[in-house]
Structure 1
Amino acid sequence: MQENVIVCTSPHKTFNMAGLQISNLIIPDERLRRVYAWALTRDAYPKPNIFALVATMAAYGQAAPWLEELLAYLEVNRDFITRYLAQEMPQVGYHPPEGTFLAWLDFSASGMAGEKLQEFIIKQTRVVLNAGIIFGVEGNNFMRLNFACSRAQVERALERLKKAFERIW
């Protein structure tokens, strides 16, 4: 099966390097690697600049302690959200994520969905969440909260959401 696998990764999300436009591919199969190399030359994909290369090498080679701290910080924020919702907003469905800093909040109990839900949250809380509907109809009752930020921001967002939804629950 390994001959059919190409692994694509990048330091973008983890190390906040999206603007550097660099990624990497692991292609174990020699034939696929040749085909890929040929396609690169044919489609004229640019090579990464030296800054992107150095930043990527530093991120992957020297940032392990920072990454461990980041993951611990995100875990604390995730666990705070879990406790807060269970205690203060049990109507909101939530399953703690295992591999991301995005919390999917299920507002089905509010009776609102899609644009109406998003508009209510923005107007009543001044908190901007990603509407789940943009990811497909299954996300109609969901909003996505990014918790890769300060604990104070997470707390303020949840407090504002609680205050707004207390009026309708």
Structure 2
Amino acid sequence: MVALADLLPMAQRRALHLEMRDTYARTDRFVAWQAGQLFDRSEGDAWWHGLLAPLVSRGGDIRRLRIVSEPVTDYVRYEFEVTPFANLAGGEAVRWLPRHRASDLRLPGNDFWLVDDVLLFNLASGDGEFVGVEPNEDPEVLAFCVASFEAAWDRAVDHSDYRPT
């Protein structure tokens, strides 16, 4: 099984991540955030930033695109609030695309990571629990995912300009 944590430090050119769900697993950090409690981000953020550091040092293309329904869910609002620490500080560029602006785009059925030319679909249950990763080596599917990502990226709003409703 291919693991993202193994791929990212070896990436040479790019790491693209497409997120299209309005809710994901209810982590301890999310539950604490919902309750208005402070939580320690340092260990998790340091781990993530460490995975990205080799690609960042190579000047790689690291982008995360979130397609979201508006008004946003609590989970998306949580993601928005932690993005400066979890993602931007690690070297990712992050954009947000309101779902109503994506209606005419061709998009895959699942979230994915594309690390160089390795495509991993993230599978989740209906309530957002992570189910597993499905690698796909079909060059046509890879090309479709790259084209989908780029078309959506071009329409999306940079994190610094996006205001969740």
- Structure 2 length-normalised TM: 0.24
**Of the two, which has the highest radius of gyration?**
1
Q: Which structure carries more relative contact order (alpha carbon 8 Å, separation 6+)?
A: 2
Compare the two structures and name the one with the higher helix fraction: 1
Compare the two structures and name the one with the higher strand fraction: 2
- Structure 1 length-normalised TM: 0.24
